[in-house]
């Protein structure tokens, strides 16, 4: 299916969940309301017309100008060829879904139950952006509430490094931070 | 499937141990947490696994990563793309050319930069040479993990030829930054094509030698056959790509299924995991390869074997690219401050370890608003907990080695 057909199918099935559609760009996507996202995700995976069986990538994007955090889900539908086991699988469709949430309270329901690949990707997006994926199978509770366990940074790291307003730490467990070396401020 | 019966029968074994009989209470063991790594020779870098063991059984393995985290993505949104190319070298440092290639393709797609024909062919030659070099390291170190020292020396002897070729082309032996935005940094040096052909003729018969040396070795097959079996559905669900996915019998390769760059101009085949007696495709004139008894589709042996056979087909691609190599420019003139449009691009390429993806978001500045790298090692490693459940302690290095991770890419 072409991205336009997928977007139309999603709009017909979930008229209240699809808030925006961006087609004709190098990466066509639809914007899904956070609360409806797991429902849409199950539909994307299980509907025989779509069959998005692989989550390729989950990327966080911080947009302080719009006061939003984005999670971009890149999906692909892989299908065995009709010609038999010796033929190459087919890339039936490629699509992207964007979920936008408020920067002050970034909460998105976890889809690790839909695609287990999302487990580590969601942990990374929490670690670097602070997006809390609710119902994540590997969650911990601390002063920040219940959230996925950090994955790349240490468990006691403060802040979310890929946010645009992130301040580099002055020191971490006695290790001097970047201000010691008078690093110029980052562009973004 | 034989794999399922083996995996499913293991918990019963443990249930037997718990039964309160006099004989078995003598065999009762206590659960113990064992740290494997971050400094462990068989974890191929700073990977830490926390194993919950009961005697020789591993009940659960939880990977802890991030020891090599350098926040490459933060650096990516503070540098221009051509300045970020050297950072991509340091992700999967065994396949730096492939990383450069995919990042350059993503930025070129976003900025609408056209690449000369000659540069496209040079890129394919370099990417496939690097695929061979990377698979050689994987083959050699996997032998080391399984207690075979000799194949490692053979693999590094051949890899040295490839590194010499790379050094002649760009001066570096590990972090090349050779493929850059708009083409490649230098034209091929004099005599490169002949030396490359010489290497291919020398290297191609060696692959059968590796098979006889390691692949069919009785001890090696005993250690790896029917170990760490990943079913095809699970491989897709966990987002596995590359040899890990193909080892499970899924005939999927981006170079064939979603061709990028100019891969659709070459004839080649892609091996997948096969049951015993199966014969993977080899180029004409090469000795046939055959899967030994005891092997199961999706096990560690098949993942390893897919890499060995892939080297045959990389040789074929390089031969065709050398034959068709056109003359002309090796790089388009890209202005230093080329503005990236307000859009995003997600592009994946087939790296030796799987699909490397780059998400590049522009906002009208020459510096990207966001760069995200989807490392194949990161996704492939995430299945560890699922695979290393109720296996033997000695199987853990066999499984981790067969997944073939590079920690520089896992942690970025």
On chain B, the residues whose CB falls within 8 A of the CB of A59 are 346, 359, 370, 372, 374
Residue A151 included in any domain: yes
Lowest mean pLDDT among B2-16, B180-194, B228-242: B2-16
Residue A186 included in any domain: no
Å between A114 CA and nearest CA of chain B: 8
Report the distance separating Cα A134 and Cα A120, nearest Å.
Answer: 14
- Residue B171: which region, alpha, beta or left (left: phi > 0; alpha: psi -120 to 50)? left
Residue from the list B73, B239, B348 with its beta carbon closest to the beta carbon of A162:
B73
> Testing the interface with A: which of B75, B91, B237 to mutate, by most A Cβ within 10 A?
B237
> Is residue B157 less than 8 Å (CB to CB) from chain A?
no
On chain B, the residues whose CB falls within 8 A of the CB of A162 are 71, 73-74
Tell me how many domains chain A contains. Answer: 1
Sheet of strand B57-64: strand arrangement? B31-36, B48-54, B57-64, B391-392
Residue from the list A78, A151, A187 with its beta carbon closest to the beta carbon of B252:
A78
Report the distance separating Cα B47 and Cα B64, nearest Å.
Answer: 7
For chain A, state the CA radius of gyration: 19
Mean of pLDDT values over A31-58: 90
> By CA distance, what is B80's nearest residue in A?
A187
On chain B, the residues whose CB falls within 8 A of the CB of A117 are 237-239, 379, 382
Rounded to the nearest 10°, the torsion over CA A158, A134, A47, A55 is 20
The interface residues of chain A toward chain B in range 2-41, judged by CB-CB distance below 8 A, are 25-27
- Residue B256: which region, alpha, beta or left (left: phi > 0; alpha: psi -120 to 50)? alpha
Å between B353 CA and nearest CA of chain A: 15
Instruction: Answer yes or no: do B250 and A89 touch at CB < 8 A.
Output: yes
Output the pLDDT for position B342.
87
Q: What ipTM score was computed for the predicted complex, to two decimals?
A: 0.87
Residue from the list B69, B238, B369 with its beta carbon closest to the beta carbon of A116:
B238
Output the pLDDT for position A170.
77
B120-164 per-position pLDDT tens digit: 999 999 999 999 999 999 999 999 888 888 999 999 999 999 999
End-to-end CA distance of chain B: 38
> By CA distance, what is B361's nearest residue in A?
A61
Output the pLDDT for position B294.
87
Report the distance separating Cα A21 and Cα A28, nearest Å.
Answer: 8
Output the pLDDT for position A121.
93
> Is residue B237 less than 8 Å (CB to CB) from chain A?
yes
Q: Give the DSSP per-residue string, B152-199.
A: HHHHHHHHHHHHHHHHHHHS-SS----EETTEESSPPPTTHHHHHHHH
Q: How many CA atoms lie within 13 A of B303 on its CB side?
A: 34
Token couple for B199 = 């290497």
Lowest mean pLDDT among B24-28, B52-56, B320-324: B24-28
For chains A and B, count residue pairs whose Cβ atoms are closer than 8 Å.
112
Structural domains present in chain B: 72-411 (1.10.645.10)
Residue given tokens 């926390």 in the structure block: B50
Say whether B141 sits in a helix, a strand or coil. Answer: helix
Report the distance separating Cα B293 and Cα B291, nearest Å.
Answer: 7
Say whether A169 sits in a helix, a strand or coil. Answer: coil
The interface residues of chain A toward chain B in range 82-111, judged by CB-CB distance below 8 A, are 85-91, 94, 96
On chain B, the residues whose CB falls within 8 A of the CB of A55 are 239
Question: Can you list the positions of beta strands (E) in chain A?
Answer: 18-22, 29-32, 54-63, 68-79, 90-102, 107-109, 132-134, 139-142, 145-148, 171-172, 175-176
Instruction: Answer yes or no: do B238 and A117 touch at CB < 8 A.
Output: yes
Å between B398 CA and nearest CA of chain A: 22
> Is residue A120 less than 8 Å (CB to CB) from chain B?
yes
Å between A51 CA and nearest CA of chain B: 12
Q: What residues make up the domain containing A98?
A: 3-181
Å between B384 CA and nearest CA of chain A: 12
Output the pLDDT for position B2.
45
> Is residue A137 less than 8 Å (CB to CB) from chain B?
no
If one counts every other C-beta atom within 10 angstroms of the C-beta of residue A12, the result is 9
Output the pLDDT for position B13.
52
Token couple for B190 = 């004099």
Residue A139 included in any domain: yes
Q: What is the CATH number of the domain that holds A62?
A: 3.30.460.80
Report the distance separating Cα B44 and Cα B38, nearest Å.
Answer: 9
On chain A, the residues whose CB falls within 8 A of the CB of B407 are none
Å between B55 CA and nearest CA of chain A: 26
- Phi and psi, residue A97, nearest 5°: -125, 135
Output the pLDDT for position B380.
92
Residue A83 included in any domain: yes
Closest-CA residue to B304 (of B144, B94, B96): B144
B319-352 per-position pLDDT tens digit: 999 999 998 888 888 888 888 888 889 999 999 9
Å between A21 CA and nearest CA of chain B: 14
Residue A188 included in any domain: no
Residue A39 included in any domain: yes
Helix pair B96-111, B117-145: axis angle to 10 deg: 140
The interface residues of chain B toward chain A in range 318-357, judged by CB-CB distance below 8 A, are 343-346, 348, 355, 357
- What percent of chain B lies above the pLDDT cut of 70? 92
Å between A8 CA and nearest CA of chain B: 21
- Per the prediction, chain B carries an average pLDDT of 87
Q: What's the pTM?
A: 0.87
> Is residue A53 less than 8 Å (CB to CB) from chain B?
yes
CB-based contact B325:B174 (threshold 8 Å): no
If one counts every other C-beta atom within 10 angstroms of the C-beta of residue A151, the result is 26
B387-401 per-position pLDDT tens digit: 988 888 888 989 998
Output the pLDDT for position B360.
92
Closest-CA residue to A73 (of A37, A106, A22): A37
The interface residues of chain A toward chain B in range 152-181, judged by CB-CB distance below 8 A, are 152-154, 161-162
Å between B91 CA and nearest CA of chain A: 14
B38: cis peptide before it, omega within 30°? yes
B187-232 per-position pLDDT tens digit: 999 899 999 999 999 999 999 999 998 999 889 998 899 898 999 9
Residue from the list A57, A90, A120 with its beta carbon closest to the beta carbon of B346:
A57
């Amino acid at each position: 299916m072409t991205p336009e057909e997928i977007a139309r199918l999603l709009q017909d099935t979930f008229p209240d969940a699809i808030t925006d559609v961006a087609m004709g760009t190098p990466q066509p996507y639809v914007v899904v309301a956070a609360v409806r996202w797991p429902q849409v995700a199950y539909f994307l995976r299980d509907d025989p017309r779509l069959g998005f069986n692989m989550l390729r990538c989950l990327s966080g994007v911080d947009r302080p100008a719009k006061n939003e955090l984005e999670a971009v889900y890149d999906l692909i539908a892989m299908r065995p060829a009709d010609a038999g086991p010796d033929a190459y699988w087919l890339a039936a469709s490629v699509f992207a879904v964007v979920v936008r949430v408020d920067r002050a309270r970034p909460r998105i329901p976890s889809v690790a139950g839909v695609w287990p690949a999302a487990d580590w990707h969601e942990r990374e997006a929490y670690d670097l952006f602070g997006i809390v994926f609710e119902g994540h199978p590997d969650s911990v509770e601390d002063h920040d509430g219940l959230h996925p366990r950090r994955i790349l940074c240490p468990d006691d790291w403060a802040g979310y490094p890929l946010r645009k307003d992130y301040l580099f730490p002055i020191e971490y467990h006695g290790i001097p931070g970047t201000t010691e070396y008078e690093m110029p401020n980052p562009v973004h | 499937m034989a794999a399922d019966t083996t995996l499913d029968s293991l918990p019963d074994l443990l249930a037997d141990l718990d039964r309160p009989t006099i004989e078995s209470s003598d065999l009762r063991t206590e659960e113990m947490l064992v740290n494997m790594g971050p400094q462990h020779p068989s974890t191929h870098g700073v990977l830490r696994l926390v194993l919950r063991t009961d005697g020789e059984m591993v009940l659960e393995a939880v990977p802890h990563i991030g020891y090599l985290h350098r926040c490459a993505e933060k650096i990516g949104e503070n540098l221009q793309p051509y300045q970020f190319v050297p950072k991509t070298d340091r992700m999967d440092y065994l396949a730096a050319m492939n990383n450069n290639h995919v990042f350059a393709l993503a930025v070129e797609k976003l900025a609408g930069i056209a690449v000369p024909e000659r540069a496209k062919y040079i890129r394919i030659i370099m990417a496939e040479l690097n695929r061979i070099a990377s698979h050689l390291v994987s083959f050699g170190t996997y032998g080391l993990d399984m207690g075979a020292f000799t194949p490692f020396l053979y693999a590094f002897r051949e890899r040295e030829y490839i590194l010499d070729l790379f050094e002649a082309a760009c001066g570096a032996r590990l972090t090349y930054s050779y493929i850059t935005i708009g083409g490649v940094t230098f034209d091929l040096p004099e005599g490169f094509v002949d030396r490359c052909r010489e290497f291919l003729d020398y290297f191609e018969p060696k692959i059968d030698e590796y098979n006889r040396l390691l692949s069919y070795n009785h001890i090696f097959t005993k250690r790896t056959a029917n170990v760490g079996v990943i079913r095809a559905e699970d491989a897709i669900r966990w987002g596995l790509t590359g040899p890990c996915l193909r080892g499970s019998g899924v005939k999927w390769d981006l170079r064939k299924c979603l061709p990028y760059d100019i891969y659709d101009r070459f004839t080649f085949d892609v091996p997948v995991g096969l049951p015993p007696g199966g014969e993977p495709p080899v180029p004409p004139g090469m000795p046939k390869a055959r899967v030994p008894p005891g092997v199961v589709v999706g096990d560690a042996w098949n993942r390893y074997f897919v890499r060995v056979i892939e080297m045959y087909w990389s040789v074929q691609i390089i031969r065709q690219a050398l034959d068709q190599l056109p003359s002309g420019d090796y790089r388009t003139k890209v202005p230093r401050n080329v503005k990236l449009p307000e859009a995003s691009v997600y592009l994946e390429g087939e790296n030796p370890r799987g699909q490397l993806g780059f998400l590049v978001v522009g906002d009208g500045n020459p510096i990207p608003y966001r760069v995200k790298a989807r490392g194949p090692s990161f996704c492939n490693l995430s299945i560890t907990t699922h695979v290393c459940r109720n296996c033997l302690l000695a199987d853990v290095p066999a499984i981790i080695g067969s997944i073939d991770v590079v920690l520089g890419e896992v942690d970025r």
